[in-house]
Amino acid sequence: MKPIQPNERKVASIHDDSAYSSDTDENGTSRIQLNPHTDRFVGFYIYRMEPGAQSTPHRHGGAEEFVMIEGTLIDNDGTVYKPGDVVWLEAGTEHTSHTETGCVIAVYSEAAESPPGMDA
């Protein structure tokens, strides 16, 4: 078995603020996305929202799955997600979410997002 080379592995901690990249189009959000071969918000990433932050309204181009790690998240239909919740959203679903407490979420997204009302 060939050893893993340094350029073949990245490690980051969700507890290390310097590991997060700020999202320029969303106030109060940041993420850890280690895979350099995927587009932004596609594949696996950690998404962090500061207290009072809101996501940009969007339509899922593919299915999205996430696990709530810390805090709570409230969808625009009033659904509240809390730590330990595992969530699946069908491709084509549209929503925006906000948090009063701040939250950390582990996300897997199959495809890029688009603005609401657009075809995937």
Structure confidence by residue, pLDDT tens digits, 12-59: 999 999 999 987 777 899 999 999 999 988 999 999 999 999 999 999
The model's pTM: 0.90
DSSP state of 95: E
Burial class (CB in 10 A: 0-12, 13-18, 19+), 22: exposed
Q: What structural domains and CATH numbers belong to the chain?
A: 25-114 (2.60.120.10)
For 64-119, write each residue's pLDDT tens digit. 999 999 999 999 999 999 999 999 999 999 999 999 999 999 999 999 888 887 65
Q: How far apart are CA 107 and CA 7, in angstroms?
A: 24
